[in-house]
Amino acid sequence: MKRTQQTLSEILSSLQPLQVDWQDDVALRVIDYLKTIPQKKKYGRPDIKRILNHNFDDALLIFRLFLGLSKDQFIPMLNSELGGGGSGIKRYNQDQDAYIQALVSLEVPQAMAACINRVPHWSDILVERLRSGRGSAISGMKRGRTVEDFVEAIVKRIFTSYDVRCDFSGISGKKAKCDFAIPSRDLPKIIIESKGYAATGSKMTDIMGDLEKIMTAKRHDTTLLLFTDGLSWNQRQSDLAKIIKFQNEGYIERIYTLKMAEQLEEDLKSLKAELGLE
């Protein structure tokens, strides 16, 4: 091999976009099957059953495509409709009618009708690319902010002084990040963490580290509250169990969900009176 000295400009001028074929065997198979689905105004249980019986795994992917949901979003929703206990092929074979009803409850037939009968426009391709790329990341951020905004609305009704998304000062000068520090980040008397999830992944694991940092830094007489929600916790029950253990052991005063919003408001009012806060 002949020795040579390359230059930056030489390499830069030779660069080109990397083209990756996203269509694997599953994608090709699903695309072929989609072309066989007849177009009609309404779809129902027989249509869902036909797709499930053709290829169960492909069927769940097809239903997700119609609903516009990722696997991490779809499976917890399906599990919830089924009442827990899994959503695999064994569950389907155990009670096909109940399984199909769960998909009907998720409005799969309506999604099929809307998608199949939609008159396409060239912009639809670009909109879909935007949704699956940038839109996916934005959706995740919005879910988290929606929960934060919901909690802040409650906090704002009760307290006149609080800091949002800040580093608070705790025991021996230790600091940690939190969503709400009441009445301020300087030795707060109440700390609230708020997390909302619709997909499993590293972000759900991060909450464990965040809580542990708060528990290590906060004073022992500082009340820590956690507000969280999302069906994805059904897929991360071991992590949720650890958080509940923290609550049982007194590190977290209480855990709330959206259904417990009134309880959160009542508890904050009680803490306001007990701690003499404004």
Residues 144 and 241 in one domain: yes
More confident: 205 or 192: 192
Asked if residue 215 is part of any domain, the answer here is: yes
Average pLDDT, the chain: 85
Asked if residue 7 is part of any domain, the answer here is: no
* Gyration radius (Cα) of the chain, Å: 25
Asked if residue 193 is part of any domain, the answer here is: yes
Confidence (pLDDT) at 200: 44
Residues 109 and 185 in one domain: no
Q: For residues 77 and 108, give the distance between their C-alpha atoms in angstroms, rounded to a whole number.
A: 12
The answer to whether residue 13 scores a pLDDT higher than 80 is no
Confidence of residue 53 (pLDDT cuts 50, 70, 90): very high
Confidence (pLDDT) at 184: 96
More confident: 106 or 19: 106
Confidence of residue 196 (pLDDT cuts 50, 70, 90): confident
Residues 99 and 147 in one domain: no
Asked if residue 13 is part of any domain, the answer here is: no
Residues 173 and 270 in one domain: yes
Q: For residues 271 and 264, give the distance between their C-alpha atoms in angstroms, rounded to a whole number.
A: 10
More confident: 66 or 236: 66
Last residue of a domain, one of 85, 118, 151: 118
Q: Bridge partners of 168?
A: 176
Residues 183 and 265 in one domain: yes
Residues 158 and 266 in one domain: yes
Listed in order, strand segments (DSSP E) in 12-92 are: none
> Is the alpha carbon torsion for 237, 192, 172, 185 positive or negative?
positive
Last residue of a domain, one of 86, 118, 150: 118
Angle at alpha carbon of residue 273, lines to 270 and 274, rounded to 5°: 85
Asked if residue 3 is part of any domain, the answer here is: no
The answer to whether residue 3 scores a pLDDT higher than 70 is no
Residues 236 and 172 in one domain: yes
pTM for the full model?
0.57
Q: Please tell me the total count of domains within the chain.
A: 2
Residues 113 and 173 in one domain: no
Residues 69 and 158 in one domain: no
Confidence of residue 58 (pLDDT cuts 50, 70, 90): very high
Percent of the chain having pLDDT more than 70? Answer: 83
Q: For residues 33 and 54, give the distance between their C-alpha atoms in angstroms, rounded to a whole number.
A: 9
What average pLDDT does this structure show over 10-31?
A: 70
Last residue of a domain, one of 83, 118, 153: 118
Digit-coded pLDDT (tens) for 128-175: 777 766 555 555 545 556 788 889 999 999 999 999 999 999 998 899
Asked if residue 131 is part of any domain, the answer here is: no
Residues 177 and 269 in one domain: yes
Residues 169 and 218 in one domain: yes
Is 60:88 a contact under the CB 8 Å cutoff?
no
Q: For residues 205 and 3, give the distance between their C-alpha atoms in angstroms, rounded to a whole number.
A: 50
Asked if residue 62 is part of any domain, the answer here is: yes
| Enclosing domain of residue 31 | 21-118
Confidence (pLDDT) at 177: 95
Confidence (pLDDT) at 25: 87
More confident: 166 or 13: 166
Residues 65 and 188 in one domain: no
Q: At 192, which CATH number? A: 3.40.1350
Structure tokens at 173: 């000068």
The answer to whether residue 1 scores a pLDDT higher than 60 is no
Asked if residue 127 is part of any domain, the answer here is: no
Is 276:157 a contact under the CB 8 Å cutoff?
no
Digit-coded pLDDT (tens) for 70-117: 888 899 999 999 998 889 999 999 999 999 999 999 999 999 999 999
Of 254, 242, 141, nearest to 197 (Cα)? 141
